Structure 1
Amino acid sequence: MARSAATGEVEKSGAITGMSIPVFIGLACALRFPKRKGSTRGSATTAAVLMFAVGVGTLPRHPVGLVHLVFGITIIVLLSLRSSGPWFRPTART
């Protein structure tokens, strides 16, 4: 990315940055999974929807858009399953 910006390829640099943002947001959400909070599930689903949207938008120009699209759909489906709900419910304190 820095090389693209330094050589004057601003559009390429912006595309790389735009495609990386949903990945970093998803990673930050995934690091919060051990806390088992319901808001973590919602924010991860939102990040996956953003990843899906970026994948759809970049698919005609970049093959990386297909990766974003597939990962976004997979994350949305897995987090929306009923069986994933108990993981994010708070545990009873003793």
Structure 2
Amino acid sequence: MGAIEIGTIIAIVGCFVGLAGWLNGRDKRIADDGEWKGSVNAKLDSIHNDISGVGKDISEIKSAQVEANKKLENHETRITVLESKVDGKEKTA
């Protein structure tokens, strides 16, 4: 009867050791996953900030393009006026 009790105690201790090992491994995996998710979140935040910066740059480029188009229209009008003046002088000469 003593052998059965010792075997049972060894089995119970073995179960506790196995359970402790499993819990330790699970906690380690959870910590590693948390670290991985944290690095992924940091990278996503970096990408998000870069993309929002690109949007700001695009809006600045669009406003600069609008101003350049206005200047171009002004120059086009002035050139047309000058061409008409030159054509008028050539006909009279």
TM-score (norm 2): 0.30
Higher Cα radius of gyration? 2
TM-score of the superposed pair, with normalisation by structure 1: 0.30
Which structure's residues are more often helix, by fraction?
Answer: 2
